[in-house]
Structure 1
Amino acid sequence: MARRLRPVELDFVTSAPVRLEFAAGMTAAPQAVHRALTEDADWPRWFGAVTAARPTDGGKGREVRLRGGIRFLETIMASEAPVRYAYRVDESNVPGVSALLEEWRLAPEGAGTRVRWTFAADGPAPLRSALGVLRPGFAREFRRAVRALDRRLAGPGSSGHP
């Protein structure tokens, strides 16, 4: 059963009780990475945990499904090309989560991009503890996703490089 989460603003990314932050480099240019994050609804092709992603509300939101039957309804909070993409989860079937916001920050790094992903969450103590235990899995999924997206953007017909 889906539940409404507490609405949070962009500053939650720095004030959340639980913040999982990960960074990695890509060879693709920031503009191409931002476009893939914001315009490419085919996240399942590069982010292994995602089984479906589709825009909602005329592009102001998304419906995302993850492995294991997890479902999110999101509101896009920021889409600032080519530096930031952030979204708040408004509804989810994940037990215990009371607030959730994710932010992708992009910065030029040589000819490529430095990607920083922050997963900011709140919930009761058991959820907070569980997220700490799950940190290595989040890190692994993030690294895999970044590598897969970089390969995708470097593929034939892509515009991932300057």
Structure 2
Amino acid sequence: MARRLRSEGLDFVDTAPVRTVFARDLSAPPERVFHALADDIAGWAEWFPAVAAIQPLDGGAGRDVRLRGGARFRETVLVAKAPELYAYRVDVANVPGVRALVEEWRLTPAGPGTRVQWTFATDGTGLFRGVFRLAGPGLGRSFRGAVTALDRRLAA
């Protein structure tokens, strides 16, 4: 059953009770990576294996996301500042125990390529927090696989 989550702003990335931060270098320049994140919304399902389907909403101001395994999210884009920052808040989710969730993708030049830093900031019940902390290594593997696939996609 989908539930409305607490509405948080971008500052939640720094203040959330549970945060995970992952980073990786890509060979594509920041402008191309930003385009893949912010403009080619449907393309996420092709490079991020956890994403089963994703559709932009409200002219790009939001997104409807379905993950493999059945999780669903309705999101609001908080920031789309090319080519350095893309962030969104989950407004509605069917994940038990989650109360708030914000994700930030920060892009910085790294030689001819891009350093991609993904921050996953969340809050929830005690059980949710504990499970989420245990899931951190798996989330990291998912991120690394996704950005590696994105890098290959952008090189093609």
1:66-113 C-alpha deviation (Å, 9 max, x unpaired): 011110000000000000000000000000000000000000000000
The count of corresponding residues between Structure 1 and Structure 2 is: 155
Percentage identity across paired residues of the two chains: 59
Q: 1:27 aligned to 2:15?
A: no
In the alignment, what sits opposite 2:138? 137
Q: Secondary structure at the match of 1:94?
A: coil
Question: How many angstroms does 1:124 deviate by?
Answer: 1.2
RMSD after superposition: 0.5
In the alignment, what sits opposite 1:62? 63
In the alignment, what sits opposite 2:106? 105
Q: Matches of 1:127 and 1:53 in 2, distance apart?
A: 24
Q: Secondary structure at the match of 2:105?
A: strand
Q: Secondary structure at the match of 1:68?
A: coil
Q: What aligned pairs does 1:116-127 form with structure 2 within 5 A after superposition?
A: 116-127=117-128
Q: Secondary structure at the match of 2:8?
A: coil
Question: How many angstroms does 1:31 deviate by?
Answer: 0.3
Q: Could you tell me the TM-score, scaled by structure 1's length?
A: 0.95
Q: Matches of 2:133 and 2:2 in 1, distance apart?
A: 24
Runs of 4+ with >4 A deviation: none
Question: How many angstroms does 1:59 deviate by?
Answer: 1.1
Structure 2: tracts of 5 or more residues without a match:
none
Q: Which amino acid aligns with 1:16?
A: A
